[in-house]
Every structure is written in C-alpha cells, then in structure tokens.
Structure 1
C-alpha cells in the first residue's frame, strides 16, 4: 500500500471560528447515485461540519428510487433554492454518468445553471470529479478524454505551484482517484486554469481558476473513507460476474498491501467463485489528514473572500 507523503504530516487543524452567528454558509449539491448519497453527504459534512453551516441541495432532474427520495425529502432542497439561501460557498459532487457526452445527460441544463450561478454569486465553489469535468466543459469547452482503463487507486501527487489551498501541506501527498476520464493538462493551462497538484500516474489532481468566485476542481477524492475504493472494487467485480461489464476490474493501485492484493487478484480470477471476496480496507490510509487540512484552507479562503467583499461592496 502507498505510504503517506514524504515530508511533515499534514496538520489536523481547524480554522479560527467566526463570531457566533457569523459562520460561513456552504451548500452541498449532492448528485451522487442513490447508493452513495448518504455516504457522500457524511464525507463532506465531516470535512465542513462544525466549521461552517452546511445546507443540502439536489437536482430533481436526476432520477431517484423511492428510498433515495425519502432520504432527500426532509433534508435537501431543489438546486434552484440555492439562489436565495445566502450561500458563501458551494460544493458540487460528481454523478454516475449515463451518457457518453455529458451534454446529453438529462440533468445537464440544471447543472449548468447551478455552475453559472455559483461562478457569479459565491466566494468559492468546489467541483468534485465528474462535476469538475462538467464545469470546465460548460465554462471553457474543455472535453474530458476516456481512459483505456479505469484510474483507480491512491496516487502520489506533487505540488506544482504555491497557493493558500496548499498551506501547511507537504509537497507530496497521496490522494484517492476513481474515474474513467481525464482532463488534458495542456487544455486546462491554455484556458487559464492553474494546476496545483499532479500525479505522474493519474494526471491532474487539484486545479483552480480565479475570478469573482474562486473555482476549485478536484479530479481526486480526498473526501473518501478508508474503505471507499474497496467498496467500489467489490461493486465493479460483482458487475463483471453478473455480466454487466465485459472486463474484470483492476485492483485499485497502491491501496492494498501486497499479500491482500495477491489474494484478491487470485480470487477475482477464479471462474468458480460466485461472490466477490471479503475485502478489508487499509487500516491507516494516508489521505484523511491531507483532506482535513485542504478543506480547512478552503474554508479559510472562503471566509477571507467574504470579508473582503463585505469591506468593498461591488469589488469581485
């Protein structure tokens, strides 16, 4: 398994609290599939909760089953309600794609409306995984590219530029990635995006674009639980054995230790096996401290940008 980054450990620090009643307000636009709705909310709430007021939103255009609708009903408002919620910042999650072209997704119009609103009205918006791909496609026409194999695992990412988002983090960090597509770094640079961290294996990790709202993009998943990649692998293997996908999934790279990986690989290749093997996640993953520091930095930036706007109304 990949070990934590070279350099000092990322601090488990919390930003200074704002005065009572003056905490920043962050929206979470949760677009994840039904099975991942609750886990995704919990993951981002863990990184934001207690540091900011978190309001939950969803896109009604994403088809949901009865259980997911019951989950959303008492806790989440339609995305259009964001526009009157007084948000300082927004987190937009990914979504399981149904169409080869993101523009053909049934929720595309609603999602792009949310992107446009966030760009013009928040201090900062953070786009995760597919949402990052959708945002750069909508804003700058940058097309993601399909990979030959799924990018899944924990990858060493190196800092390429200094930025307040990286304050206190080591120059090399280990971050989970899980995606079938990638954004070309040259296309991002040509459109004015600044790549902050990149992996030699997984490509672009974290990048930003300044403006009225600081747009932050993650191709990786620092919010993931220790067992998220293990659960995804088990799901993909079950789909393969059910004939729902043509190829056996690769093990997540740099995630399991060598003995566990060898055992899982042998079990997955056994045509007589009916059920996916029991899978134990790493006990001490290297990224949670990095994620906490990154989100602490982001929330501090949101608070600073909000204060600057209040001091100089009308100034981006």
Structure 2
C-alpha cells in the first residue's frame, strides 16, 4: 500500500525515482479503505530533506498511510520559505479538532537549550497535551524523545562533554517486544546530539520499558508499557549523507566536533560512507506502524476522546 502525500510535494519526485509507492490525496479518496492518518511535526531546519527521510520509511510498508505535515506557529523556520510551509504544512490550530492514528515529532537542533527556553516550548506542550486524547500512538525522535520524556515523566537530559556523532552498535534488551521483532541481537543506528538520557533514572519509571541500548550512545529505544509512546534517541531515518553534511556544517561554523565514528569505511573520510542502518530503520518503522498503530488503533478515531 502507498503513503499518501500532498499534491506537488517535492519529495514525491524523490520517492518516484527510488521506486517508493505513493499517491496524492486526490487519488487516495477513491480507494475503498481507511488509511492510517499520521501527522508529522517537522522541527528540523531542512524540512524538505526530513520529509524525504520519513516518507521513505513510512512508504515501505503494507499499509496505506495518509500524511499531514505540521509546523510551529510560534516559531518561523529560517531555512524553509514561508510559501513552502503555507503550501504543504498546517499549524496546530488547523488540526486541533482532528484525530490521528499516529503522530511523529522529529528532532530539532535546540538540545543545548533548557526545554523552557526553546521558542516553541509552550506550543509543543499544547500539542503533547492534545495528543493524549487526539492521537492513538506517538513516536518521538532524538530531541523530541527527550522533550516528551521531560514533559510526561519529568526526566531531564544531560549535556555531553562532546557531540555524539556517528553510527553506533546497539543491543536489544527484550527480544519479545513487538517493536524489536525481527531485530538482530546487535544492530546499528545513527546518532547526532549533544545531550543524553540518564539510563538509571529512566529505568526507575515502571511506566517505561527500555528496549535497546548502546555502550557508547546510551539508551536508544524505549516505549511506554501500553505502547502508545515510543522514544527513539537516534536518527534511524537519516539518509547516507546526513551525518557528513552536519559535520561539514559544524566545521564551517567553527564548532569543535569530531568526525562521525563508524561512518566511513575504515573511519577514513577519503573512503566511501558505509550504510549499516537502513535495514533496521525500515524494520523499526514497519513494526511501529503494524504492532503499535494499525493493530490497535480504533477504526473510528473519535473514540479516542
């Protein structure tokens, strides 16, 4: 089944070239099926690239998924034209009466700020509060995972001595959990952040189950016991060159950052990038959509109230 996206969204051309099946909303209304309604709150600076990354994963499932892109009203992106946002995005006011099967909130380059200092923090709190009754399942990525854990459970973040950047190995903690069904015992995933979570503190919250960890990168994957909240501290959605582009950007800005680890063959930047996380990324999103959303969400979303 395809992922349904807005007509003329530039990411559609990329998906077409990669043979990822999608359809426009106009065509989807003629399908005799109720698609999963998924909202994506895109907080990343390069919104077009982030769209492509998540749509690749959401479009590689057997389920029909209808996408609504959201942006903040309290903060105007400096990297995306307002005309583009007006054409393809909605703000919370446009959707606050709607119900969704799922919500994805992306990472954001604001992790060194205290949560309350983030320009759109109050708006994000409103969205998280709204999601409790209007969204069946939520997936929080990187900074959003830290923000949601702070909002819902009071779990703070810790600033790292240096930026964590690269591809890290992870170990599955509970092989029987549906979210990690089919995972290898050890798998790889990208990380790109300046902060981390205190695993010992997280483990004290019985409402949360830690599902995968890394010796170097810490907690990677966790979920609420009812499965309606999933927290991913890494960036499984990243494409091949994202870490390289971030590293180049940081160096140009004069930041003291190290070359992403386990990224180039032999850790040699003159060699090719070695993609080791693509299979895991697809499996993670397939499992989440199937076991945490599709098999449990009510057919009539209004029942969430």
Is the 8 Å Cα contact of residues 155 and 175 (structure 1) preserved in structure 2? yes
User: Which secondary structure does the structure 1 equivalent of 2:286 belong to?
Assistant: helix
Q: Which blocks of at least 5 consecutive residues in structure 1 are unaligned?
A: 1-13, 264-279
Is the 8 Å Cα contact of residues 177 and 220 (structure 1) preserved in structure 2? yes
Instruction: Tell me the residue number matched to 2:55.
Output: 45
Match of 1:186 among 181, 194, 200: 200
State the distance in 1 between where 2:221 and 2:125 align. 21
Distance 1:47 1:139, change over 3 A: same
Q: Is it true that 1:20 corresponds to 2:28 in the alignment?
A: no
Q: Is it true that 1:299 corresponds to 2:286 in the alignment?
A: no
1:159-200 deviations in whole A, cap 9, x for unaligned? 001311111121111000000000111111212311111000
Is the 8 Å Cα contact of residues 167 and 263 (structure 2) preserved in structure 1? yes
Distance 1:90 1:98, change over 3 A: closer
Q: How does 1:101-180 map to 2 (within 5 A)?
A: 101-161=114-174, 162-180=176-194
Match of 1:79 among 75, 92, 95: 92
Taking structure 1 as the reference length, what is the TM-score of the superposition?
Answer: 0.79
- Deviating beyond 3 angstroms after TM superposition, the runs of 4 or more aligned structure 1 residues are 313-316
Instruction: Tell me the residue number matched to 1:273.
Output: none
Taking structure 2 as the reference length, what is the TM-score of the superposition?
Answer: 0.82
Distance 1:104 1:66, change over 3 A: closer
Q: How many residues align?
A: 270
| Higher RCO (CA < 8 A, seq sep 6+) | 1
Q: Is it true that 1:258 corresponds to 2:266 in the alignment?
A: yes
Which 10-residue stretch deviates more, 99-108 or 201-210? 99-108
Match of 1:32 among 8, 19, 44: 44
Q: CA RMSD of the aligned region, Å?
A: 2.4
State the distance in 2 between where 1:296 and 1:203 align. 23
Is the 8 Å Cα contact of residues 222 and 232 (structure 2) preserved in structure 1? yes
Q: Which blocks of at least 5 consecutive residues in structure 2 are unaligned?
A: 1-20, 22-30
Greater percentage in strand: 2
